[in-house]
Amino acid sequence: MIVSVFTPVGIVVATSTSDCFYEFMETEDGNVLTPIKMNGLPHTHIFWGRYSFTFNCLNQYSYESDLLPKLRELTKKWDTIPPVTDFMPYLKKLFVDSHIQVIGIMAAYDKDGNGALTPFVYQILGENIRRINLDNEGNINYNCVYLEKKPHIGKLLQQTKLRNGELWEDNPAINLRCDLYSIQKSIDLCRFMLRTSDYVENVNSASYDDPLKADVSIITCDNIETKTMNI
């Protein structure tokens, strides 16, 4: 799972340091899937010190080991740093041509068409890439997005319908005022999302207070900071 909170003071992107893969094992009773939990695999790549890309691989059986080399090779196309709006189509082409399946967030501050320094947040779902921090009128918006391989948090926070006897009742979405959030509050919300997702996936065996680490990126107009945090 990847969580991103974009606010007037900066953008926070976080994902668990732990990945789960599966291996087919032959037994006397047939083939079984054995989980392999791996910590410490890369989840973040910074382009030119300016554009932050946080990703999770969708392949449940192997790590996309050629992803980072391909990302580094991609940057060699330019002698100077391209605008993020020019760079994103090339990133999409890389994913399409290489059949790389990831979910991710690209976050950056860059100049817009008027030369003003502006936040850019892109959602990446495989080959589907779109900017998500603009409203329908083209104005910057502030919000939270969570990308999941399995929809756990979405069921808790998004608008849903609940059945009550023969009736379906609307359950409104939770109102998140990300336009008021600080960086610390954004990290706190990411912490809640990641911990809750991990707990729901392991509800029968885990405690909510079990140790959990996250790779966190903090993107502001002045700097990009990446760190691993106990959450």
Over residues 180-218, the pLDDT tens digits come to 999 999 999 999 999 999 998 888 988 888 899 999 999
If one compares 29 and 168, the residue with the highest pLDDT of the two is: 168
User: Quick check: 15 and 1 in contact, CB under 8 A?
Assistant: yes
**Class (C level, CATH) for 2-205:** alpha beta
pLDDT category, 149, cuts 50, 70, 90?
A: confident
User: Quick check: 228 and 213 in contact, CB under 8 A?
Assistant: yes
**For a pLDDT cut of 90, what percent of the chain falls above it?**
72
Q: At residue 161, does pLDDT exceed 90? A: no
User: Quick check: 61 and 73 in contact, CB under 8 A?
Assistant: no
Report if pTM > 0.75: yes
Q: If you average pLDDT over residues 99-127, what whole number do you get? A: 95
Confidence (pLDDT) at 158: 75
If one compares 176 and 150, the residue with the highest pLDDT of the two is: 176
Q: At residue 151, does pLDDT exceed 90? A: no
Torsion of CA 37, 42, 44, 47, to 10 degrees: -160
Q: At residue 155, does pLDDT exceed 90? A: no
Q: If you average pLDDT over residues 149-166, what whole number do you get? A: 77
- Smallest Cα–Cα separation from 148: which of 125, 130, 174, 171? 125
Q: If you average pLDDT over residues 9-22, what whole number do you get? A: 96
Question: What is the average pLDDT score of the chain?
Answer: 92
DSSP H/E element including 108: strand 102-111
Q: Residue 51 corresponds to which tokens in the numbers above?
A: 């554009």
Confidence (pLDDT) at 110: 97
Helices 84-98 and 67-74: angle between axes, nearest 10 degrees: 140
Q: Where do the structural domains in the chain lie, given as residue ranges?
A: 2-205
Summarised one tens digit per residue, pLDDT across range 46-60 is 999 999 999 999 998
> What does DSSP say about strands 160-164 and 143-147: parallel, antiparallel, or unpaired?
unpaired
pLDDT category, 33, cuts 50, 70, 90?
A: confident
Q: If you average pLDDT over residues 52-71, what whole number do you get? A: 94
